[in-house]
Structure 1
């Protein structure tokens, strides 16, 4: 209880930092120095970052790398990727180069529908509620005209509003299920603003509806909010080639490789313990580009994993087959993304990332990000079914281990040479460095 504080949000950034250092680090000035070392020397840029969230005390850096040689629908891209995990960018790059010689990736946006709901409680006759919704239905559009005007000019807007009966799952619970097209914006603020107007229509009109009983007029809106589950905002990414064309240095026997690869995918299709890790690998690629382009990776993660369990059991997002001698590897992903609004015009690195991708539309970004996930998945499965995942991962992780050990340049060189022919593990690196130093 001694760490409770009043009025913290009203303190300056410096005062907030001083309170933290005094309260939690016994006034250790080295802590304050470390935190302030991450402040940007460009004061205007730092002010911009400070205002993204509340109670900012510093910046938290993640590496921004690039993965070149992505051929997507016959166009070459270099993908920006923000991630801290070793080997992800390297794996994506390797998969991109591998498939660039085999026709590249194909991607198709299958639908772009986004969803929001007004959740409400109604104690009364369902038929009268249906009649009421039909009566006020036009108001859902007229009352949101001031919100939807500009979106409609861009070809988007409200697609539909319908009543959904959920009373078999929760007593007296109904919802307005609304669908939207938000074009190049992710559309969260647009959707939520529309939903709140829908809710206002219900609150205003229900007490005035003559066919309602006194109790029915007391319809209660619980909340109005968009959904991050967007199963109809869907993109497909895929690769295919003749089985024999898969041959490479790592794949000397493509027939045997394909057999193991497809079995690995089928295991992820039926075994949730494997599927979670399998899909996590896909999200390594997806999240890295989502972050780089200023989109909401938490929303994407939640929606994708719900999609993976849409049939009642958590399963693989990707699938593989051989038909008539053609190997095919593909997946469908629900991705609600934006290339305008939010951080896209504010964060300098987001602007850079979108320019690197040649200013894609939201649909183009959906395809790019889905391909990043499929590439990552292919690279992981290729390693798992050939050399094993640890060989490449540990080589990339070696730099992190050496940084933890504060290895000198000479020690780094000796370690790298040693582990070209020896098994690489964290403990083996520690032991070898200690041996050098002794």
Structure 2
């Protein structure tokens, strides 16, 4: 068996590089050797980092230069009743966070939703995007390329779909800016979040564009996708799952569970989430949807950086004659139940808690269900925070639970 201490020494003496350790030892030993090397170089103790439950070999597709694992406390919210397009009944949702009071707040909202008979949730649109940018001679050529793309989507679909047994090209939209042509490819990636799938498929389709038109590819991603950055195009067109959840809560339950009134919550939402967000030029008109999305992504093996798009949400609240109506619409929630970090041990267990492990039947139904559960939990978090603000209990809750 290879001695990790000896491997660490060889790195220290310049004989090996950190990334080359995988060629000289199994993943577990290589991670130990890197950890020993980093401990020596930085005079630190990484014993806790070295205590992880997943198999290092399983993590190979997800990490390079692995030295161990980081642990984030995981709580659970629910059950919450959901009448969804892919969910029917009660679900629990694990959330990983270091923010005290978050789990309690979301759970308070879930309790109110459950007492009101449950929420309704639907995935309204589904499409993972990749948008390469091409260069042309002038706007005349740009118009020619855009017209060719519109007339030959079938040829582009054939090329793109030749790279995957699951992905389906559903749309290609050209955008022209001077001598630049952007093509926003949209895919149904079923139960995968699908970013890698879309990238590989789009590269194949780009070869067809270059062969059949005067366009020359500059970059496979031209930032019109738009991935992991705030973007109005995602707010309008969506990316991943566009999902909405809503609930009606009678007046007596609002006062019992939230210690305030429907009118006060509605006013807080209008002045904070709508007027305040507009004045700030925000792309998200919500209280803290990203809190629930990020905690769910951490617990469930999603791409955490895509919480940027997940925060692109609008919360609406109105007082009706018999109670309070509230909704949350997330324009671009990028989730999957296969691929990425979903195969890691703790994340796979968390997905089992939600009931959405692996591919669904029909394909895509598990990812749809996950989107509906996250959206409902995020709605619960919105209601709870707005109620805390309306009743002026926010600071006391954080004093008690958010130390």
Q: Does the TM-score normalized on the shorter chain lie above 0.5?
A: yes
Q: In the TM superposition, what are the counterparts of 1:177-196 in structure 2 within 5 Å?
A: 177-196=184-203
| SS of residue in 2 equivalent to 1:143 | helix
CA deviations 1:236-257 (Å, max 9, x no partner) are: 1111133244231652xx5xx2
CA deviations 1:112-169 (Å, max 9, x no partner) are: 1232212111113244334544675443123234224x22xxxx511122322222xx
Provide the C-alpha distance between the structure 1 equivalents of 2:397 and 2:42, rounded to a whole number of angstroms: 40
- TM-score normalised by the chain length of structure 1: 0.72
- Pair member with larger Rg: 1
CA deviations 1:364-410 (Å, max 9, x no partner) are: 11110011111111111112222421212222234xxxxxxxxxxxx
Going from structure 1 to structure 2, the CA distance change for 1:392 and 1:147 (only over 3 Å counts) comes to same
CA deviations 1:150-209 (Å, max 9, x no partner) are: 22xxxx511122322222xxxx11112222111211111211111101211123333xxx
- Equivalent residue in structure 2 for 1:298, among 295, 299, 305: 305
| SS of residue in 1 equivalent to 2:292 | helix
- Equivalent residue in structure 2 for 1:163, among 167, 174, 177: 174
Q: Is the 1:36–1:58 contact (alpha carbons within 8 Å) kept by the matching residues of 2?
A: no
Q: In the TM superposition, what are the counterparts of 1:259-338 in structure 2 within 5 Å?
A: 259-268=263-272, 269-272=274-277, 279=286, 281-299=288-306, 301-305=307-311, 307=312, 317-334=314-331, 335-338=333-336
Going from structure 1 to structure 2, the CA distance change for 1:330 and 1:130 (only over 3 Å counts) comes to closer
The answer as to 2:380 corresponding to 1:367 is no
Provide the C-alpha distance between the structure 2 equivalents of 1:249 and 1:196, rounded to a whole number of angstroms: 52
CA-based RMSD of the aligned residues comes to 2.8
Provide the C-alpha distance between the structure 2 equivalents of 1:277 and 1:234, rounded to a whole number of angstroms: 14
Structure-2 residue corresponding to 1:205? 212
Structure-2 residue corresponding to 1:63? 73
Structure-2 residue corresponding to 1:16? 34
Structure-1 residue corresponding to 2:109? 95
After TM superposition, the structure 1 stretch with the greater mean CA deviation from structure 2, 224-233 or 98-107, is 224-233
Runs of 5+ consecutive residues of structure 1 not aligned to the other structure:
26-30, 207-216, 309-316, 399-438
- Equivalent residue in structure 2 for 1:113, among 106, 123, 127: 127
Q: Is the 1:183–1:362 contact (alpha carbons within 8 Å) kept by the matching residues of 2?
A: yes
Provide the C-alpha distance between the structure 1 equivalents of 2:58 and 2:146, rounded to a whole number of angstroms: 49
| SS of residue in 1 equivalent to 2:62 | coil
How many residue pairs get aligned? The number is 352
Give the Å deviation of 1:326: 3.4
Provide the C-alpha distance between the structure 2 equivalents of 1:276 and 1:395, rounded to a whole number of angstroms: 32
Q: Is the 2:32–2:67 contact (alpha carbons within 8 Å) kept by the matching residues of 1?
A: yes
Q: In the TM superposition, what are the counterparts of 1:179-258 in structure 2 within 5 Å?
A: 179-206=186-213, 217=214, 219-225=215-221, 226-228=225-227, 229=234, 231=238, 233-248=241-256, 251=259, 257-258=261-262
The answer as to 2:47 corresponding to 1:36 is yes
Structure-2 residue corresponding to 1:139? 155
Going from structure 1 to structure 2, the CA distance change for 1:323 and 1:8 (only over 3 Å counts) comes to same
Q: Is the 1:290–1:369 contact (alpha carbons within 8 Å) kept by the matching residues of 2?
A: no
Runs of 5+ consecutive residues of structure 2 not aligned to the other structure:
1-11, 22-29, 228-233, 358-365
CA deviations 1:256-284 (Å, max 9, x no partner) are: x2222112111221113597998462221
CA deviations 1:35-81 (Å, max 9, x no partner) are: 12332476x72443466311222211001111122111261111111
Q: Is the 2:135–2:216 contact (alpha carbons within 8 Å) kept by the matching residues of 1?
A: yes
Q: Is the 2:287–2:386 contact (alpha carbons within 8 Å) kept by the matching residues of 1?
A: no
Provide the C-alpha distance between the structure 1 equivalents of 2:122 and 2:153, rounded to a whole number of angstroms: 34
Q: Is the 1:267–1:274 contact (alpha carbons within 8 Å) kept by the matching residues of 2?
A: no
Structure with more relative contact order (C-alpha pairs < 8 Å, separation 6 or more):
2
Going from structure 1 to structure 2, the CA distance change for 1:138 and 1:241 (only over 3 Å counts) comes to closer
Structure-2 residue corresponding to 1:390? 395
Going from structure 1 to structure 2, the CA distance change for 1:38 and 1:50 (only over 3 Å counts) comes to farther
Q: Is the 2:80–2:91 contact (alpha carbons within 8 Å) kept by the matching residues of 1?
A: yes
Provide the C-alpha distance between the structure 1 equivalents of 2:398 and 2:282, rounded to a whole number of angstroms: 20
